[in-house]
């Protein structure tokens, strides 16, 4: 059926439920999972007239964003390990998570994308459309949406 499944996760409760369900599915079907975290890019901080407020702030922001990605992916990996499911993890940085999801799914040779119906995007998601909706609209790979 599906040999490799991409599971984008942001650590939100619904996303964690999707991860758990996908791990169960993969255990039953001998599928491999690629857990993916779309990391936002850190913007260089400026303080008026282009002066940088702290030369190490961008480095600190990137380290904090990497830490969040590692925590989210580690939680997903722990579930897969407990179920004896083959997996790998992947993180990419960018401001269009839906595009990153599709790109990684294609690059990793995934047969399907399993993702939650909504994540942590808040009011911006309501105004601009959810990342899930964008993946559904643009992906050539089948998408299963967990609600």
Alpha helix segments (H runs only) across 1-96: 13-29, 57-82
- Per-residue pLDDT, 127: 43
- The residues, any chain, with a CB within 8 Å of residue 124's CB and separated by 6 or more, are none
Mapped onto helix, strand or coil, the DSSP state of residue 130 is: coil
Choose between 54 and 116: higher pLDDT.
116
Q: What integer pLDDT is reported at residue 58 of this predicted model?
A: 82
For 83-135, how does the pLDDT look when each residue is reduced to its tens digit (9 = 90+)?
Answer: 999 999 999 999 999 999 999 999 999 999 999 987 555 554 444 458 999 99
pTM, full prediction:
0.88
* Whether the Cβ atoms of residue 33 and residue 85 lie closer than 8 Å to each other: yes
State the residue for tokens 């993916």: 36
Please report the pLDDT score of residue 49 as a whole number.
Answer: 60
């Amino acid at each position: 059926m599906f040999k490799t499944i991409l599971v984008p996760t942001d650590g939100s409760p619904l996303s964690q439920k999707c991860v758990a369900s996908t791990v169960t599915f993969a255990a039953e079907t001998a599928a491999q999972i690629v857990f993916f975290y779309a990391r936002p890019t850190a913007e260089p901080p400026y303080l008026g007239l282009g002066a940088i407020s702290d030369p190490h702030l961008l480095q600190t922001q990137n380290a904090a964003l990497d830490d969040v990605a590692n925590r989210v992916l580690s939680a997903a990996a722990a579930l897969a390990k407990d179920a004896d499911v083959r997996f790998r993890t992947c993180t990419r940085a960018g401001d269009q998570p839906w595009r990153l999801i599709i790109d990684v799914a294609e690059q990793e040779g995934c047969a399907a994308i399993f993702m939650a119906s909504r994540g942590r995007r808040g009011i911006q998601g309501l105004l601009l459309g959810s990342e899930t909706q964008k993946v559904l609209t643009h992906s050539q790979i089948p998408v299963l949406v967990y609600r």
